[in-house]
Chain A
Amino acid sequence: MLIPLSWLKEYVDIKIPFQDLARKLSGAGLAVEKWEEKDGDIIFDPEVTPNRPDWLSVYGIAREIAAITNSKLKVQSSKSQLKTQNLKNPLEIKIVPNYEIVPRITSVIIRNVSVKPSPEWLQKRIKQIGLRPINNLVDITNYVLWLYGGLLHVFDYDKIHGHQMIVTLAQGGEAFRSLDGLDYNLPKGAIIIKDADRIIDLLPLKGGENTSSTNRTKNVLLHSVVVDPVITRRTSQSLGLRSDSSAVAERGLDPNSTPIAVKTALQLILECAGGQMASEIIDHKEKEFKPWVVKMGHLRQEEILGIKISPPEVKNIFERLKLKTTIKKLKNDSIYYVTIPTFRNDLHIEEDLIEEIGRIYGYNNFPKTLPFGPIPTSTVAYVRNYDLEYEIKQILASFGYSEIYTYSLISEERLNKLGIDSTKVLRVDNPISKDYEYLRPKLLGNLLEALKNNLPNFDEINLFELGKIYQGETLNKVNEKYSLSGIISGTRFYEAKGVIEALAKDLQINYNILPANKQIIEYWDQPNRAAEIVSSNRTLGYLAEINPIMLTRWGIKERAIYWEINYELLEKLVNKKRVYRSLPNFPATTEDLTFTILHKVLVGDIMTTIKEIDDFISTVSFIGVYENNYTFNISYQSLSKTLTGEEVAKIREKIIKVIKEKFQASLKS
């Protein structure tokens, strides 16, 4: 909403430079960050918060300026008394109000107007506020809307069938053509005015073409309304109609805005379009709209703001804001009784008034403190261990992985490429595009895409993401959880495995990496190169070479290894406790044993088997395989004595026997 500085100056003395004024207004909550210097004037473009309909008007802003600069506000206009001597042949209108939806409707009829271009001063104002001058009647309604925030509309009186106006709600589906020639299909519950036959107004958004004023119009009906803000918002949203009028109406109109708006517009019409009043000012209202009183305690104010301010200063701030205040002194406190005018519908509770003190006092003048009192010791609900997350990420980065953050919303196409049925994936109803429609059930797709995009620039790529995935086919079974997944280029399966092993070791998680069960090998796995990471009989994750078919779908010509870890399970398995074990007092005996095994065998199985043969076997490691000869390095150690050659020989014999039998192996001498 554009506000010319010269217009503000008609209502309040402004002695400070406009930049300082803008700064002060912003500090008090009316953000004036943008302005334009135009033809010797300054045009402010303030941003008005949803709680302040009164700031959507020149007069409202002038009132704020008067308060923050402590200067005098000129009284609202309509100084001349409206002459009613021409009411010899009054024109009739029958208005049927509906106070539930339109609490107030104030009207007047004027005869013999001349519709013509506005005088120059008015056209200038209309242009300054970013509108196009149309004719004197329309320009005047816009002028008064800007000045006082009152909603006005002019009807061609002679076109109102039956000279009756019935306020009601649309049934839904009615056709309506607005005065700017656009056709609307009205939503159910929109506020409308009907004459004897037709819909003539969509309140407060658009007047009807059927009763709009034209150059031939002679007699007009001018009215100003107060409408229900919620209905207005719904209607304007469903029709996609946002206007300056709807902005004021949605925030809540001042119920006492209609008489002043009508009187001001009437006077201007008589001045600029001639004519005479053909009716009294007809004011239909639900009730008298009276100011209300809000009580505020001085101690409460001190508790919330934390500043020292005296009761007279508080009273002064309120009075500058046109809030009449009386103070009642108690023994330990002072109570303020503050009268709230109807244009301040944002002030209802004690805290609202406290905010008025704060913003006029100026937050930049507040001292800065930190909360006093003990730091809470009980664990907060929904606590999450971000330190662990950071530690894990750092470990992965130290192993050469780079962290990525990708979109949680992905396309159906991406799901299809992953072989995931999109009907079983959570979806947003109003995606911004097809590219961002489904909530990712897996990180794999985004990692593949990231790999692909990096391949032209890098030979070796290691990426990981720790992010949310969203499972559960329907909303009833939503399961939003963390997944930790990585992807690396090439066939470096054992490098990927090594990273997982090192991570597990660092976090002290017992695990086993086994060939993945055929039942659970998914579409993306390369069947004989897929492993399952198992811990405490639960699946901690998967590690696999990606199926070449899948890679082809993504247009990736290289091979790639992927791993994913159920992060929430990982969090539970992590053991941060470190217990020192003293160094062994007795030396270990170490030797290599080589077995010849002629058929395919899992080295992991052999190692596990050896380890379990005797308690004195302290470590088993795999040295390598050469032409069916598998070499293991075995350490024998006791914590309580030095093992003798005979003792070691006994264990060795046991190993040879077990491995021979279990794996049809022979010891290579």
Chain B
Amino acid sequence: MNKSMEEELIRLKNDALAIIWQTKNLADLENLRIKFVGKKGKLTLLLKELPKLEISERKRLGILSNDIKKAIEQAISETKQKILGEKTEQKWFDVTLPGILPPDGHLHPITHILHEVLDIFKSLGYQTTETHEIQTDFYNFTSLNMPADSPSRDTQATFYLDTRGTKVTPGEILLQTQVTSMQVPIMKKTKPPIRAVMPGKVYRVDSVDPSHAFDFWQIDGFVLDKNIHMTDLLGTIEYVLRKLYGQEIKIRFDATNFSFVEPGVQAYMSCTICKQKGCPFCKHTGWVEILPAGMIHPSVIKTAGLNPKEWGGFAFDLGLSRAAVLKYQINDLRVLTNPDLRILRQF
């Protein structure tokens, strides 16, 4: 009997310790504590048998069961420390390992700058329109006060479409050399007042090298309203350029001549590439031509079927490719048409 109780105590101890040491979480551990040494735990129940024993036995087994209780409690405590320790102890963790990257996609620099420019004009109440790359000589030139044989066409060497097999006169259909070609069509079909910007790709017969391209991006805009002044044009240009390039840039206006405006101005901006120290991009002048503009020529308004005494306004043109080159300090125009991911991933 006594022997069996002693055996039972030892078995209980062995069982308890074996299970406790295997335990991985605190909740299980607590259950085990209740199971073995709780008020109704196995050891507690066994100890209730002690008074039934002889004194000597009672003493011996009392000491033994006390030791067992301590051992179990210690095992629980140690296991508890172990579990807590595993949670808080710094396992080796390397924060410098490369992150897992999301898919790596990029927008083209022209898209970036176009979005920025359109956003600025939207805030000024301009709407954006389509332009037609395949255009008529009339809208590209004649309607803009650039009749055939006018020297003003000289700076816009033109690609003409092949007219063979059609009734179209050779030279009649061309690739737009300026997005200004949309100005008269828009004016014809929209009831003024108008504020519009027209982005698009334009084409000029030119060689392909670091500073030349036969196609490039432009955005033109115009306002047609009553009581529009040159000062409004200059203010608009300054607002847009500062939004785009920062408040610190310098802006200068020179008089110039474009057939479809009168008077005409050319806006120059301090070179953003060399900060006016002089570089090949600004031809060492510290200034870059950025925005030709002017008050819409009365004959253009007349061509659109409106009365130039009643309606007037201004028009301007921003070379988007050029603006992108300046914004991102691109040293070669061909970068914009080179679909190389090593380039695109920079934007």
Residues on A facing B (Cβ under 8 Å)? 26-29, 31, 33, 49-52, 229-230, 233-234, 250-251, 303-307, 346, 349, 351-352, 354-355, 358-359, 363-364, 366-376, 378-386, 390, 393-394, 396-409, 426-432, 436, 439, 446, 449-450, 453-454, 457-458, 461-463, 468, 470, 474-476, 478, 480
Which of these, A371, A386, A449, A463, contacts B114 with CB under 8 Å? A386
Pair B107/A393 contact, Cβ less than 8 Å: yes
The yes or no answer to B337 lying at the interface (CB within 8 A) is yes
Residues 187-242 of B at the A interface (beta carbon under 8 Å):
188-196, 198-199, 201, 203, 205-208, 214-215, 223, 225-232, 234-236, 238-239
Pair B341/A454 contact, Cβ less than 8 Å: yes
Pair A383/B255 contact, Cβ less than 8 Å: no
Docked Cα-Cα span, A355 to B296, in Å, equals 12
Which of these, B170, B231, B255, contacts A355 with CB under 8 Å? B255
Dominant SS at the B interface?
Answer: mixed
Docked Cα-Cα span, A378 to B192, in Å, equals 9
The yes or no answer to B129 lying at the interface (CB within 8 A) is yes
User: What are 6 A-B pairs at a CB distance below 8 A?
Assistant: A363-B234, A390-B115, A402-B104, A408-B215, A454-B339, A470-B134
Instruction: Kindly list chain A residues whose C-beta atoms are within 8 Å of the C-beta of B214.
Output: 409, 432, 436
Choose among A351, A390, A399, A463 the residue with the greatest number of B CB atoms under 10 Å from its CB: A351
Check A230/B149 contact, CB under 8 A, given A351-B262, A398-B105, A400-B103.
Answer: yes
Instruction: Kindly list chain A residues whose C-beta atoms are within 8 Å of the C-beta of B228.
Output: 371
Docked Cα-Cα span, A372 to B206, in Å, equals 41
Docked Cα-Cα span, A386 to B189, in Å, equals 20
Closest approach, in angstroms, between the C-beta of A390 and any C-beta of chain B? 5
The yes or no answer to B345 lying at the interface (CB within 8 A) is yes
Pair A366/B256 contact, Cβ less than 8 Å: no
Instruction: Kindly list chain A residues whose C-beta atoms are within 8 Å of the C-beta of B120.
Output: none
Docked Cα-Cα span, A250 to B96, in Å, equals 70
Pair B186/A26 contact, Cβ less than 8 Å: no
Check A453/B339 contact, CB under 8 A, given A428-B160, A429-B162.
Answer: yes
The yes or no answer to B264 lying at the interface (CB within 8 A) is yes
Pair B340/A454 contact, Cβ less than 8 Å: yes
The yes or no answer to B108 lying at the interface (CB within 8 A) is yes
Pair A371/B152 contact, Cβ less than 8 Å: no
Pair A463/B263 contact, Cβ less than 8 Å: no
The yes or no answer to B253 lying at the interface (CB within 8 A) is yes
- Ordered nearest first, which 6 A-B pairs have the shortest CB separation? A306-B229, A400-B103, A375-B125, A355-B263, A359-B255, A381-B189
**Of all chain B residues, which has the CB nearest A246?**
B151
Pair A478/B134 contact, Cβ less than 8 Å: yes
The yes or no answer to B4 lying at the interface (CB within 8 A) is no
Docked Cα-Cα span, A437 to B196, in Å, equals 32
Docked Cα-Cα span, A430 to B263, in Å, equals 34
Pair B160/A402 contact, Cβ less than 8 Å: no
Pair B162/A381 contact, Cβ less than 8 Å: no
Residues on B facing A (Cβ under 8 Å)? 102-108, 110-111, 114-115, 118, 124-125, 127-134, 149-152, 154, 159-163, 165-168, 170, 173, 175, 182, 185-186, 188-196, 198-199, 201, 203, 205-208, 214-215, 223, 225-232, 234-236, 238-239, 252-257, 259, 262-265, 283, 285, 295, 297-298, 312, 336-337, 339-342, 344-345
Which of these, B190, B234, B283, B340, contacts A368 with CB under 8 Å? B234
Check A402/B190 contact, CB under 8 A, given A358-B255, A359-B263, A428-B159.
Answer: no
**Of all chain A residues, which has the CB nearest B341?**
A454
Pair B185/A303 contact, Cβ less than 8 Å: no
Instruction: Kindly list chain A residues whose C-beta atoms are within 8 Å of the C-beta of B110.
Output: 405
Check A50/B257 contact, CB under 8 A, given A366-B231, A376-B193, A390-B115.
Answer: yes
Which of these, B165, B186, B231, B254, contacts A381 with CB under 8 Å? B186
Pair A382/B130 contact, Cβ less than 8 Å: yes
Closest approach, in angstroms, between the C-beta of A597 and any C-beta of chain B? 34
Which of these, A31, A233, A364, A402, contacts B344 with CB under 8 Å? A402
Check A383/B127 contact, CB under 8 A, given A251-B151, A393-B111.
Answer: yes
Pair B166/A474 contact, Cβ less than 8 Å: yes
Pair A428/B162 contact, Cβ less than 8 Å: yes
Pair B151/A373 contact, Cβ less than 8 Å: no
Given contacts A373-B225, A402-B104, A408-B133, 19 further A-B pairs with CB under 8 A are: A26-B254, A31-B256, A230-B149, A304-B312, A359-B255, A363-B255, A369-B231, A369-B234, A373-B227, A375-B195, A380-B196, A381-B186, A382-B186, A386-B118, A398-B105, A427-B162, A432-B205, A461-B341, A480-B132
Closest approach, in angstroms, between the C-beta of B6 and any C-beta of chain A? 58
Instruction: Kindly list chain B residues whose C-beta atoms are within 8 Å of the C-beta of A349.
Output: 262, 298
**Of all chain B residues, which has the CB nearest A428?**
B159
Pair A405/B255 contact, Cβ less than 8 Å: no
Pair A373/B256 contact, Cβ less than 8 Å: no
**Of all chain B residues, which has the CB nearest A385?**
B128
Check A49/B201 contact, CB under 8 A, given A390-B115, A454-B339.
Answer: no
Pair B150/A364 contact, Cβ less than 8 Å: no
Which of these, A233, A383, A397, contacts B105 with CB under 8 Å? A397
Pair A403/B106 contact, Cβ less than 8 Å: yes
Pair B127/A408 contact, Cβ less than 8 Å: no
